Amino acid sequence: MISRINEKQSMLIFHFVAMAFCMMSALLSPTTFSLFVSQQNAMAQQETLKTASIEIPLSKGYVDGKIAYFIATDASDEQAVKSIMNNTGFTINYAPILAQIPESQRGQGYLFLNGIKGEAPNGFQLPVANAVPGDEDYSPIWESNFVKWNDNATAKELKSVEEVLSAQNSGELTVTETDIIVNSPAVNYTSGS
């Protein structure tokens, strides 16, 4: 036997279902809303990260006779940190643990203390480094070597490690090794990009 629902029963069921829906919505609403807001915030943060940028000043140097570009982020020596920050206007980290990196894992950088006037922050020629990414002996961790032309030598611009070492071997200049280590990766750079 099939019974039919009358209009009064139908309205009662409708109100019951509506009230149950409202109660469930009220119970779930804060959680659902909170999850929705959290998801929206996470998505907004991801979008911000996609478009966020940081500017790190580039420094120039020579590698095998060509200009290469570097950024500095950390140094093992407090004076080096201050010097880099004064020259670039960019805050880098003091990281004394860098000095514990084995010499075999360090790149070699040569900084000139006198000689030819140039674009380096100290007013002399650009530094010289031994390698760039792709070279077998490249490391972003550089050991700083100070180069000083001897009084009896005629200074000239040197653009490779081989030229620096050749001038040292011929008595034209003195290279002083240090334990000043700088995290200064080479970067690809095209003018205007």
- Please write the tens of the pLDDT for every residue from 118-140: 999 889 999 999 999 999 999 99
The rounded distance, in Å, linking the Cα atoms of 138 and 130 is 7
Average pLDDT rounded to a whole number, residues 64-75? 96
Average pLDDT rounded to a whole number, residues 91-104? 96
* pTM across the whole model: 0.72
Instruction: Tell me: do 36 and 124 sit in the same domain.
Output: no
Asked if residue 193 is part of any domain, the answer here is no
Q: What is the pLDDT of residue 52?
A: 75
Q: DSSP secondary structure string, 26-57? A: HHHHHHHHHHHHHHHHHHHHHHHHHH------
Cβ-based neighbour number of residue 22 at 10 Å:
11
Instruction: Tell me: do 46 and 63 sit in the same domain.
Output: no
Instruction: Tell me: do 49 and 65 sit in the same domain.
Output: no
Instruction: Tell me: do 23 and 104 sit in the same domain.
Output: no
Mean of all residue pLDDT scores within the chain: 84
Instruction: Tell me: do 90 and 113 sit in the same domain.
Output: yes
Q: What is the pLDDT of residue 187?
A: 93
Instruction: Tell me: do 45 and 75 sit in the same domain.
Output: no
The rounded distance, in Å, linking the Cα atoms of 56 and 88 is 9
More confident residue, 93 or 25: 93
Q: What is the pLDDT of residue 193?
A: 47
Is the Cβ–Cβ distance between 116 and 85 less than 8 Å?
Answer: no
Lowest mean pLDDT across 12-21, 80-89, 106-115, 172-181: 12-21
More confident residue, 31 or 144: 144
CA dihedral for 136, 164, 183, 192, sign (positive or negative): negative
Tens digit of each residue's pLDDT (9 = 90 or more) over 16-60: 544 544 444 445 455 554 555 566 677 777 776 677 788 899 999
Q: What is the pLDDT of residue 20?
A: 46
Asked if residue 192 is part of any domain, the answer here is no
Q: What is the pLDDT of residue 11?
A: 53
The rounded distance, in Å, linking the Cα atoms of 70 and 76 is 17
The rounded distance, in Å, linking the Cα atoms of 103 and 72 is 19
On the question of pLDDT at 70 being above 50, the answer is yes
Asked if residue 148 is part of any domain, the answer here is yes
Strands 186-187 and 66-70: antiparallel
Count of domains in the chain? Answer: 2
Closest by Cα among 147, 142, 189, 146 to 172 = 147
Give residue 87's domain range: 59-187
The rounded distance, in Å, linking the Cα atoms of 173 and 150 is 5
Instruction: Tell me: do 63 and 32 sit in the same domain.
Output: no
Asked if residue 149 is part of any domain, the answer here is yes
CA dihedral for 170, 173, 177, 183, sign (positive or negative): negative
Asked if residue 137 is part of any domain, the answer here is yes
Instruction: Tell me: do 20 and 64 sit in the same domain.
Output: no
